Amino acid sequence: MKHQQAVFLQEMGITHWQVRKPALFKAEEVHKQLNLSYCELLVVCTKEDQQHPLMEAILNAFEIDKDKVTYCSLAQFENQQGTLPMLIWSTIGQIEVAPGHQLLHSPALVTLAEQRQAKQILWKQFCAYHQ
């Protein structure tokens, strides 16, 4: 179930089912719930974006400690059942989040590194939420 669907069900007072033993399924990684209790920024990205040198520079510019950042794939994000942090950044395009969350979006970091205007747009999005 996608996160947006879970939020709608929760708002209607309908509880959702959660797999108790996800290891029994082949898509175990998709069902694994993220621990977001300490998370200030959730980054929905690819492994390549997570390891790109620009990622650390952007986190430094945002003044967010890398220990307070959680990375996930789109599949993990869509299956996340818990509460999400206020700030979410997607490098894989537009994603659906419940109202009240601050959503940043940018192209993949390989593209972002080459496009000055894309970096400026990302920075303006971040600044708009932190004024």
Domain ranges of the chain: 3-11+34-129
Residue 92 has pLDDT above 80, yes or no: yes
Give dist(CA 9, CA 125) in Å, integer: 29
Of the given ranges (15-29, 67-81, 86-100), which has the lowest mean pLDDT?
Answer: 15-29
Average pLDDT, the chain: 84
> What is the CATH topology of the domain spanning 3-11+34-129?
Rossmann fold (3.40.50)
Residue 14 has pLDDT above 80, yes or no: no
The answer to whether 89 and 44 have CB atoms below 8 angstroms apart is: yes
Residue 23 has pLDDT above 90, yes or no: no
- Cβ contacts of 5-8, under 8 Å, gap ≥ 24: 6/81, 7/98
pLDDT for the residue numbered 93: 83
* pTM value > 0.85: no
pLDDT for the residue numbered 34: 82
